[in-house]
Structure 1
């Protein structure tokens, strides 16, 4: 490109200069010198003899571009002309939309990070449905910045205050940390795209319904990889790249939490802190026995002749009691309540329902709940004829000496 700017770039710079006319001339020249290389690159991308409209489509209006230069350089907003009633009216009518667009972005960032964290922590697509409530807010914000640009947003008092805080922080820290993070931007956008693709594939492996979600994940990956590198030239893309980045950060934190939880479960999968085997719990965390993938609420034992045994105490091979929660009926309220944990079986069956005041079950006049404990065995067992006989029954008759008393850990059946 020659040292003389093409007509479109020269016209665009002239309008930018006019929008910065309230600043000292030396500072305006310094600002324009900084942006000329960027406009030269843009001109090269647009081809030969680009029109001003093409530059405006890529960068926004020269006035909004000048406002972004003010914001990035820490300059105050352009003072409004007190005599120009049209300008004052536009500012008053546009500030509501600008504020909605800004806080819509903030709200979307928080929501995307939160739901991304929850979905990755659970490895479920259910939490991602919450994004449906955020999408309309973000869509309205995107439509605003696409039409009006970011200049009205840059002039909001809260945005100016945040920019001052960021400038002060950068000055106090000498900007080293910020410069370092800025240097990582190209790699960050690639990482975001990779995380989105991997997360989508994990959801598909976990839930078949996530196949419908995978195209959206791929689309988001392409969008962030495309929009990220162009943020410097078009700040409107912040409303696309920043929420996706927040989602990636939240999902990465959630994935880390899920990994820590999985490692902890595997580390303590064989034993618990007190030396007892790990127990499965019901909805309220009470201990339960498991047979395969099903919980066992009660255990019935029978002798070789098929007679039920009562008062049986269960232990594992290391002498540890197989205790579960025991329930009983509360007489005052007729409710089922927990009375403790032990390893004695079988337990009474708890039957609950409603009855009327005459005692009729499932009545409709004056219904009240009832609770009943049933101790009978609900089924009979047919012991196979070829079942092995316990050694005690096939041994010689016992001697006249008294048998040793049972140990304290095992009580005789009652």
Structure 2
């Protein structure tokens, strides 16, 4: 970004306004060569004057300290802080100049300025990943919002363009929004390091990088209650899988100390008095009715006479002999 003459003029005016408490001759002496100095700084590299030299008020405090001009008592602490910042910045500039040739540029800052668009994209991705971690509770390469990858992709589609637009207009921000943006960048960088560490641990453990753990609905089960078709509670029930392996869910927290093993052996439920539908009384068993078997001997009973059929001939009973009748005449 090219610094215009108007920006240089505004910077000088703000510096002179910050030195308004000094005598005019001292103020003019301190700012006499300031426009030429700012022009040289603007020609050295890209970036605004605020990015290169700091806020005009801080620069004015440094000039005041360098000239030995005492300011108001309330500003002395700010002057000392500004002087410390000035020294730190000078050291950073020297390091920047030394590292530049190693990267093939005059300064490392020139190389880093070329990477700004990449940082803007990465910042948008990290912001979306942070929101996904907060709302989804999981560190994943693709952010998940409430467990949905679709919402995560939509969040990425919004966060990255917003981050790029914010980076292109960063020089237009005022002091506090700019500082807030820097603090947010530090938070995102720290989160990025945590994200890389989590993905590395998953890779070392053999767990798929894109694995998203599913919450087990049986994690909170403490007891199992089995009911038959009549709605009666079944005691001492045992559960097995298809291989005959016992299924263990819950723990007998209602058992007395030392009786947990016995409760586990007895089966479900561990705590019958906590049945969700109450205890339904079991009716006493009724004796089965006597059923004759095929091998039993039939009891003696009178045999009824067979009924006459249509084909049977009637039985003639003989009459007793009487007096023989003589022949008739």
TM-score by length of 1: 0.37
Greater per-residue strand proportion: 1
Which has the greater radius of gyration? 2
Q: Which has the higher contact order (CA 8 A, sep 6+)?
A: 1
TM-score by length of 2: 0.43
